Structure 1
Amino acid sequence: MPAEEEYTFEELVLWRPPEPETGESAAAAAASPPAPADGAEGSDAAVPAPDAPAAPAAPETPATAVSVDGFLCRWLREHQREGVQFLFDCCMGLRDFDGMGCILADDMGLGKTLQSIAILWTLMTQGMDGRPAVTHTIVACPVSLVTNWESELNTKWIKEARLRAKGIQVIAVAEAKKEDVLKMVRRFTTSPSAVLIISYETFRIHQKLFKKGQQCGLLICDEAHRLKNKDTKTAQALASLPTRKRILLSGTPIQNALDEFYSMVHFANPDLLGSEKDFCRQYQRPILRGREPDATDKERERGETKSSELGKIVNQFILRRTNTLLSKHLPPKLVCVVCCSMSQLQTQMYRQFLDSKATRLLVNGGKQSMVLESINSLRKLINHPLLVSEKGKASKGFEDAIHLLPDETISDRRSGSRPVFDPSLGGKFSVLHQLLRYVKATSSDRFVLVSNFTSTLELMERMCMQEGWKSCRLDGSCSIKKRTQMVEEFNDPRGGLFCFLLSSKAGGCGLNLIGGNRLVMFDPDWNPANDKQAAARVWRDGQKKRVFIYRMIAASCIEEKIFERQLSKEGLSGIATNEDVEVSTFSSSQLRDLFSYHEGVPSHLYDKIKDDADAAERAPDGPANSLDEPSPSQEAPLRQQNGWPKETGDMHLWAHHSTASSVDDEALRRATRHSSEESGGVSFVFSLHVKGKDLKKARAEEEEERRRQAVEDAELAAKEKEARRLQSSATPSSSSSLPPLPPPATALGGKENSQPVTLGGSKLAFGKRPLHALGRRGPALPAPKAGPGAAKQRAPPSKAKAKQRRRAVDSDEESEEE
């Protein structure tokens, strides 16, 4: 049940008409043409088809205020109200920039979809001139989110009845045949008012269909970082739409570089930042140069100046809030970067790969394609040694190391049989296995396991099958229907799924997996945005438990350096919100040094940032106490968390642990007890407490709500019982000859029939009688009336006659039903 504050709300007025003018100014205002409406030249409005009915004339009555309808406004939190106002101002050209597009760049979980639906509904039902500002809206999104958007509109927020009452059709196009796509797009373009939800791929294929009939008045692009390359066919197809009202939704507006950020800004508001060449010369180069460790003071100053200048421009149409706003509404969260040492087998194979002649040639200037292939081979080895052997054949670069694998772990290529999977051969897999076993045995918590490699998901699936843990797997091969079924089953508290295996690229965006409260990111991605998207799947609205995020990193090898590279890319995202951007800790040459291996070092990253951690001034506040119950197994960390730092970057302000025994997570502490030098284990941990609502207080409120509901149910049941008693004691004349009701019996399957039973045109409230108490033949027939000879007892009918009577009654009942 929603909290009380969600039911009480203030009206959200987005725009009020100006006060009426007098004298000459009023005459001048009356003579001036009104603002272009939907479909007029210079607007992004719909263009009616040649045979479409003429638009109604503008109302003579003055325009009324534009406000968000109460059924939506009641659910908007404060930051969402601000977001809806921002979207309205941008789309209606009320802000100080040349354009009508905007980017809502809130962190995952802050309700970008709800804010978009609120502005969509408002613009399609209201306008500044008294008419709807928009008649046709296109929502472009990944194929996996099409049905989600449809249900959010039709079922969750607006409802089908309201949409029908306003004459708005909602048309969803996903995984449809060409003929079906043609029909649905034709419905959209010929309808007076409609919302089309379509995947990026489908729109790209059928973009020519949108050049006829009604055009798009509002374009919403979900997961808009798909448009980071302006030269892709998808971006070009969407950019060709004539609308200027464009809303881009992305929790990660800057992913890899500033040129990708430019592409998104250019899509939202074309030419606002000039040409790409001008942007690179004026902003990109000085900003990036000023962030290098060897930059001069003058270069740093110029970079900061350009960054501030760019921030002031884009902040007119970009709104970004971090998920720290969720701390008042969601449970606390513990984020752990778990550095794991490799197993002895992995270390041997890793060394042999680095010492090979082929690797030395790569490091000294090999082809780019071969370098990437070798990097992926090493990443697979780090996940588990079995991944470098496919059906007994070694991956490229491991031909001389394949003999190190135990014979019993290699599948027989002739028979195709698969041996028993041994998690202890991989350092990270060994820790994961022990963590899952402990949590499964001691709590009702459930896991989301995320990987960039489907081959790694296959090993996770084998491990779950061997342990008897029920799991499901979502990757690129899953249909939309199957995705929806898996998500619903996992989020069902009564479901039996323990692990949800997720491909970061196929399912990292938009999924709501609040059925789990522990998420493991098994391998880092080169693009930090992919990891951020995946990590946000469980800490969302509806989560009731404390959340644990584990980022597993193989220590002091290529994987930890990929993570270091992520940290340098995260520094760019501050430019979008004009935040302070810290100087990159690592130079470009250091980041390219991927093939070195610092054996025996617990964490290569910690060695780099420990001096910054020592020099950092202690913040006055921070997590003073453990969020777990005190445990004698918990030791003091190497360094306490300094204040409340950000989840991205600021690693020198996180808590640092030389062993897992000092981490605020009993499950992780217990999981490391079984580690050994042979199988690897946890070598170092960075942990971060993220504020959340008071769980004890929230549980007490929920318990009080359950008690109150139980009292209400008991009172209602007592009233129903008393009503049944009064009805049964009454003797109406029309039913005075009825025999007493048979005693209640246990219903089949425990189900009961609470519907009144009709007999002879009158309703008899039998209460909750079991279904089979009424029998196949319906209620009992009335007793014969008293009369001459009635006292004479009749002989019981024969079995044949009784059977014949039952058939007659059955036949009559069937005729009645027909």
Structure 2
Amino acid sequence: MSLNAFKEALKPCKSILNSSQSSSSSQISHPSLPTRKPPKTSLSRQLLRLNDPADFSPPNELKISEPDPNFNAGSRNSKCEEEKEKEAEIRPIDVKLESFRSFDHTGPYEPLLLSLSAEIPAVQVPASINSLLLEHQREGVKFLYNLYKNNHGGILGDDMGLGKTIQAIAFLAAVFGKGSDESDTVLTSHDVNRDEKKGPVLIICPSSVILNWESEFSKWSTFGVAVYHGVNRDLVIDKLKAGDVEIIITSFDTYRIQGSILSNIQWEILIVDEAHRLKNEKSKLYTACMKIKTLKRYGLTGTVMQNKIMELFNLFDLVVPGGLGTREHFREFYDEPLKHGQRSSAPQRFVQIAEERKQHLVSVLQKYMLRRTKDETIGHLMMGKEDNVVFCAMSELQKRVYQRILQLPDIQCLINKDLPCSCGSPLKQAECCQRTVPNGMIWPYLHRDNPEGCDSCPFCLVLPCLVKLQQISNHLELIKPSPKDDHDKQMKDAEFASAVFSTDIDLVGGSATQSGSFMGLSDVRHCGKMRALERLMHSWISMGDKILLFSYSVRMLDILEKFIIRKGYSFSRLDGSTPTSVRQSLVDDFNSSPSKQVFLISTRAGGLGLNLVSANRVVIFDPNWNPAQDLQAQDRSFRYGQKRHVTVFRLLSAGSLEELVYTRQVYKQQLSNIAVAGKMEKRYFEGVQDSKEFRGELFGICNLFRDLSDKLFTSNIVGVHDKQGIYFDDPLQETSSVESKGIGGRRTKAKPTLEDLGAVYAHRNEDVVNLRSRCLVNEKQSLSREQDDEQRRPPPEERKESDATGEAETVEIVMDPPVCDASKKRKSDHSSLLAVLMGIDEAELNKLMLA
């Protein structure tokens, strides 16, 4: 700072208003004078000053006093002038204080006591951290400390976006007596008077969030943090032995390789971020983590269970060894009964046993796991989310190509693998003459080095054939050769494409390597999902919405990028090739720039570390076998800080493999709700996971390659289309017609909307997964409603007369919900129940729904 500038900054402090000013001078406006910046102090001191406005009051504070008997009218103007000057000095500080108080809504500036009041030394979260925590985060810190106090591990299973990282740091700050600045640390350490020396803390996380952990530690505490990752790993170990480091952060891959070095250290606490990565007990990472020398192991994950119930056991056996018994005991006592009790035609005895085991499992998990959702915690701070699943009709060309693939010898071999062999032997085809497929399109290339076949034939064909079916479901260009592949692979893919395109090869521009033809790749004629996407994006962009567009395939992202360029939309893109150092700048630019309309993201690359709350529309172009991948993609936008209602559209190709992928997602979500949350879910499916006897409609190779083109597969299973009616929010058409709207302005007839999108069926994911689920708290209310219905039921003789017309009346009820009294009562009951659970009046709930 120059000397002249410093003098100019001091001028306002020396200037004195002329006391001989007349009363009219108060009306003259003075130019604004520069103010000096306050000195830098610790955050805690600034907060203490703001909480004590007495420290900011001027020396001659205005006070109310008795009337002066010597008061005269001549001195009235001068006294008023002095009062105005004093008020002007006080007012800015009051305004700043009020604005800060309105911002700091999380809590007062005081520490959060975790230990008992009479316990010495006291363990508490420093006030500088506690004042910025939300209420559910304080509960999470208490939960972690209670486990730590009892020398146990556990899982913090909050939904993504609820601040699991911050809760973990606040917990560590309380245990180690660390605040957000040195003054807090010294004060806490002096008061606590800790005698024992605590060991270091190990944090294992994905490499993409290492920088995020390091940044959060620097903001919230004064720990000595080091990253054990990269070329300077040995220096970190030396600092740790010298006592200069308290927190070690490493990645999953680094620990898997260097686990022998880190496992020799006696750790005080282990924290595993994204702990669901340890779901496979046979992986090297899981085996290495089991060797860590500490019992205080804590997992942070928003998806405790993703695919199988046994994954739940693997995760808990890592953080709480032996807490759920042995592996075989868990499988027999919990896993098998829960899966078989969820079968749609399960006997009542199986259902009853599953209910008992489910309640027992939940009671055990609650001791070591804290699981909260956004609706339970910050739902009142957000506008909500709607997850729509749209089954788009494939183009006629897509349908023909899909049918030709199913007729290939490779897939026919898999479909007929269990049939008797045609040679007359008692063996099955897969065990005899049809074990290999020399005349196939895929098998010869896979076994080019071993013409006699491999040990897993013909099952080695399953994954390559599934990939081809998924490519056809997304876009025809994907089955053409990729220019990034080697020459032999391109030649084989070109031969495959020529066979499945057959007489339609001219319509797709030949079977050669995927061309860079901009107009050809961006054309939506031959892709059903892109036609729906074109209609949706046109409506959203015209309304000023921002869109997140996810795809599992990078090649599909290339095609979507050309489509967006053709439409003239401004976009950003992030995939696996995007450097980690650039990702955050892309996110910040998209959130802050009004001109950015679309963000193209790879589902795999966009799962962690991205906060895109500026977008309120999310499109998932292709489904993933793991439901957690799609749910995490949605949470990139639907998280704390989102100011608008988030609408999600999952696009599926009707009659294709994607329907089976989605129904398996529903199955897995329901199993997770049963095992983790203790809910009762509607039993939709006959199939049982990992069961050869009950494969039903979901499991087994024959189901994977079944022709679904002439069926409403998902609709017939979940029964939403025929039994419950469709309530589909129409973002494309005007809602001026009152007759076409239901409660809250939603359309009650989805057919016009589906026709516009080129779709055959649609529903909301939450309606399918959660509509029929009932918690124990609702059973008494449901029972009371059934008793009321029984009292109002007509006598038996009147009931017989109405039996003949019952079916027709039921159809009329389903087809016209807004007019039916029974439907109105059902909706009213649901609204009343929802209002009770949310703790608000039904009128307030209706206002929220209308908003």
Asked if TM exceeds 0.5, the reply is yes
How far apart in 2 are the matches of 1:264 and 1:405? 50
Q: How many Å apart are 1:216 and its aligned residue?
A: 2.2
1:451 maps onto 2:536 in alignment: no
Partner of 1:486: 586
1:181 maps onto 2:200 in alignment: no
- Shift of the 555–361 alpha-carbon distance from structure 1 to 2, 3 Å rule, reads same
Stretch moving more, 537-546 or 186-195 = 186-195
How far apart in 2 are the matches of 1:641 and 1:597? 39
> Could you list the per-position Cα deviations for residues 108-167 of structure 1 after superposition, in whole angstroms to 9, with x for gaps in the alignment?
222212211211221221798835884422221111111111222213xx1xxx51xxxx
> Could you list the per-position Cα deviations for residues 654-712 of structure 1 after superposition, in whole angstroms to 9, with x for gaps in the alignment?
99854363xxxxxxx8xx64x6xxxxx2222214799999xxx9xxxxxxxxxxxxxxx
Aligned residue among 508, 517, 527 for 2:616 = 517
Aligned residue among 459, 463, 473 for 1:382 = 473
The alignment partner of 1:584 has SS state of coil
The alignment partner of 1:607 has SS state of helix
How far apart in 2 are the matches of 1:342 and 1:274? 49
> Could you list the per-position Cα deviations for residues 695-751 of structure 1 after superposition, in whole angstroms to 9, with x for gaps in the alignment?
xx9xxxxxxxxxxxxxxxxxxxxxxxxxxxxxxxxxxxxxxxxxxxxxxxxxxxxxx
Partner of 1:438: 539
Q: How many Å apart are 1:381 and its aligned residue?
A: 0.6
Report the residue type matching 2:478 in the other structure.
L
Report the residue type matching 1:110 in the other structure.
L
How far apart in 2 are the matches of 1:102 and 1:258? 17
Q: What residue ranges of structure 2 are gaps of 5+ in the alignment?
A: 1-98, 178-187, 418-429, 431-457, 483-489, 688-695, 768-833, 845-851
How far apart in 1 are the matches of 2:625 and 2:147? 33
Stretch moving more, 557-566 or 474-483 = 474-483
Aligned residue among 144, 153, 166 for 2:208 = 144
How far apart in 2 are the matches of 1:352 and 1:387? 16
Alignment of 1:459-608 (within 5 A): 459-491=559-591, 493-494=592-593, 496-588=595-687, 589-592=696-699, 593-599=703-709, 601=711, 603-608=712-717
Report the residue type matching 1:342 in the other structure.
M
Stretch moving more, 401-410 or 244-253 = 401-410
- Shift of the 629–344 alpha-carbon distance from structure 1 to 2, 3 Å rule, reads closer
Aligned residue among 87, 101, 120 for 2:144 = 87
- Shift of the 655–554 alpha-carbon distance from structure 1 to 2, 3 Å rule, reads farther
> Could you list the per-position Cα deviations for residues 331-367 of structure 1 after superposition, in whole angstroms to 9, with x for gaps in the alignment?
2322211111101110111112223333222112263
Partner of 1:428: 529
Partner of 1:239: 290
Report the residue type matching 1:402 in the other structure.
F
Q: How many Å apart are 1:70 and its aligned residue?
A: 1.8
Contact 1:410 1:419 (8 Å CA) reproduced? no
Contact 1:449 1:521 (8 Å CA) reproduced? yes
The alignment partner of 2:763 has SS state of strand
How far apart in 1 are the matches of 2:735 and 2:359? 48
Contact 1:374 1:397 (8 Å CA) reproduced? no
Stretch moving more, 193-202 or 624-633 = 624-633
Stretch moving more, 229-238 or 258-267 = 229-238
The alignment partner of 1:138 has SS state of strand
Partner of 2:305: 254
How far apart in 2 are the matches of 1:552 and 1:133? 56
Contact 2:494 2:512 (8 Å CA) reproduced? no
How far apart in 2 are the matches of 1:605 and 1:211? 48
Q: What residue ranges of structure 1 are gaps of 5+ in the alignment?
A: 20-61, 94-98, 643-653, 662-668, 676-680, 698-818
Alignment of 1:136-285 (within 5 A): 136-155=200-219, 158=220, 162-163=221-222, 168-174=223-229, 176-177=230-231, 180-211=232-263, 215-285=266-336
Report the residue type matching 1:432 in the other structure.
L
> Could you list the per-position Cα deviations for residues 26-78 of structure 1 after superposition, in whole angstroms to 9, with x for gaps in the alignment?
xxxxxxxxxxxxxxxxxxxxxxxxxxxxxxxxxxxx72432222222122222
- Shift of the 81–436 alpha-carbon distance from structure 1 to 2, 3 Å rule, reads same
> Could you list the per-position Cα deviations for residues 564-591 of structure 1 after superposition, in whole angstroms to 9, with x for gaps in the alignment?
1111111222244442232531122201
> Could you list the per-position Cα deviations for residues 164-197 of structure 1 after superposition, in whole angstroms to 9, with x for gaps in the alignment?
xxxx2122345x23xx222234333433442122
- Shift of the 335–416 alpha-carbon distance from structure 1 to 2, 3 Å rule, reads closer
- Shift of the 154–448 alpha-carbon distance from structure 1 to 2, 3 Å rule, reads same
How far apart in 2 are the matches of 1:414 and 1:324? 45
How far apart in 2 are the matches of 1:521 and 1:634? 31
Contact 1:656 1:685 (8 Å CA) reproduced? no
Q: How many Å apart are 1:255 and its aligned residue?
A: 0.9
How far apart in 1 are the matches of 2:639 and 2:347? 43
Contact 2:125 2:174 (8 Å CA) reproduced? yes
Report the residue type matching 1:595 in the other structure.
F
How far apart in 1 are the matches of 2:609 and 2:326? 32
1:686 maps onto 2:750 in alignment: no
The alignment partner of 2:168 has SS state of helix
How far apart in 1 are the matches of 2:108 and 2:227? 32
Q: How many Å apart are 1:630 and its aligned residue?
A: 6.4
Contact 1:224 1:248 (8 Å CA) reproduced? yes
- Shift of the 7–530 alpha-carbon distance from structure 1 to 2, 3 Å rule, reads closer
TM-score (norm 1): 0.67
1:78 maps onto 2:132 in alignment: no
1:353 maps onto 2:462 in alignment: no
- Shift of the 349–640 alpha-carbon distance from structure 1 to 2, 3 Å rule, reads farther
Q: How many Å apart are 1:472 and its aligned residue?
A: 3.1
Alignment of 1:724-743 (within 5 A): none
The alignment partner of 1:207 has SS state of helix
Q: How many Å apart are 1:4 and its aligned residue?
A: 4.0
Alignment of 1:18-57 (within 5 A): 19=118
Contact 1:123 1:133 (8 Å CA) reproduced? no
The alignment partner of 2:133 has SS state of coil
Contact 1:655 1:686 (8 Å CA) reproduced? no
Aligned residue among 309, 317, 341 for 1:290 = 341
Contact 1:109 1:540 (8 Å CA) reproduced? yes
Higher helix share: 2
- Shift of the 7–415 alpha-carbon distance from structure 1 to 2, 3 Å rule, reads closer
Report the residue type matching 1:171 in the other structure.
A
The alignment partner of 2:550 has SS state of strand
Greater RCO, CA 8 A, separation 6+: 1
Report the RMSD for the aligned CA atoms in angstroms: 3.5
How far apart in 1 are the matches of 2:160 and 2:499? 45
The alignment partner of 1:424 has SS state of coil
How far apart in 2 are the matches of 1:605 and 1:276? 34
1:631 maps onto 2:735 in alignment: yes
Partner of 1:651: none
How far apart in 2 are the matches of 1:567 and 1:312? 24
- Shift of the 408–118 alpha-carbon distance from structure 1 to 2, 3 Å rule, reads same
The alignment partner of 1:377 has SS state of helix
The alignment partner of 2:520 has SS state of coil
> Could you list the per-position Cα deviations for residues 264-300 of structure 1 after superposition, in whole angstroms to 9, with x for gaps in the alignment?
0000111222221222122212222222223222222
- Shift of the 205–633 alpha-carbon distance from structure 1 to 2, 3 Å rule, reads farther
The alignment partner of 2:525 has SS state of helix
Q: How many Å apart are 1:607 and its aligned residue?
A: 2.2
How far apart in 2 are the matches of 1:605 and 1:641? 27
- Shift of the 349–411 alpha-carbon distance from structure 1 to 2, 3 Å rule, reads closer
The alignment partner of 1:6 has SS state of coil
The alignment partner of 2:625 has SS state of coil
Question: How many percent identity over aligned positions?
Answer: 28
Report the residue type matching 1:286 in the other structure.
P
1:373 maps onto 2:464 in alignment: yes
